[in-house]
Structure 1
Amino acid sequence: MGKYKMAHTMIRVLDLDRSLAFYQQALGFEEVKRKDEFEYEFTLVFLGDGDPNCHQLELTYNYGQAVPYDLGTGYGHLAVTVENLQASHAHHKAQGFKPTEPKGLSGDGKPRFYFITDPDGYKIEIIQN
């Protein structure tokens, strides 16, 4: 059996344009691919960091969805890394994304991560690379 490689993570979104704007503005993700399935009433948009081989985020937009999705208790969060945590935090704060205060779990007191929330309520962990 061959080795498996992560391809993408899919989340459902209520408002595709709003979600695209968030992921592009907050995280700098780029639209990699879009697939409109008009017959089946959904659109898939794949986002990435510019590397065609990167793990991608798939936004699934189901036509006619009128109420927000229930995230349930099984979902945790998406995680991305950044080179400069403090600069990223300041950027997200200035953009109005309401980041949590940076925290660290190593016991040395150094901030290592914080969270922001997308328009559909999905948590995104920003981690110092």
Structure 2
Amino acid sequence: MRMLHTMLRVENLEKSLDFYVNTMGMTLLRQSENPQYEYSLAFVGYGDEADTAVLELTYNWDGQTYDKGNAYGHVAFEVDDIYSFCEQLEASGADVYRKPGPVKGGSTVIAFVRDPDGYAIELISPKQ
């Protein structure tokens, strides 16, 4: 058994794809539209779906906005050079709302950025 993907509902698929592909450096693996049920899907990731878990971005054509609620936490990604990556994110206009630094009570270096829909993404430096 293995994890396949995490699905996020997005309000603007093009804006989300720009963020995940051009800002976060992911690859658009596949994309489809379902006119009968009025939704689009885009799968993005850092590797092939056969080997790694990916994100499924779901865009419903009804224009609905979504309440993130208080149960969602974040999606986490390991980043080789977290300081440089966060600088790149900020230079591209991304909201790095928790700058890189040690986690409270520990030594692991983390940071947090928001995607265009406000979803939290934790960036984690590799463990030494």
2:90 matched to which residue of 1? 93
**Out of 33, 36, 60, which is 1:36 matched to?**
33
Calculate the TM-score normalised by the size of structure 1. Answer: 0.88
Runs of 4+ in 1 over 3 A off after TM superposition: none
Q: Deviations over 1:53-72 (max 9, x none)?
A: 21010000001224x21000
Q: CA RMSD in A?
A: 1.6
State the shift of 1:103 in Å: 2.4
Question: C-alpha separation between the residues in 2 aligned to 1:115 and 1:106?
Answer: 14
Calculate the TM-score normalised by the size of structure 2. Answer: 0.89
Higher-strand-fraction structure: 2
Question: C-alpha separation between the residues in 2 aligned to 1:48 and 1:19?
Answer: 13
User: Unmatched 5+ residue regions in structure 2?
Assistant: none
User: Unmatched 5+ residue regions in structure 1?
Assistant: none
State the shift of 1:50 in Å: 3.2
Q: Alpha carbons of 1:57 and 1:7: their partners in 2 closer, same or farther (altered >3 Å)?
A: same
State the shift of 1:25 in Å: 1.9
| Other structure's SS at 2:55 match | strand
2:103 matched to which residue of 1? 105
Percent pairwise identity: 37
| Other structure's SS at 2:122 match | strand
Question: C-alpha separation between the residues in 2 aligned to 1:121 and 1:47?
Answer: 18
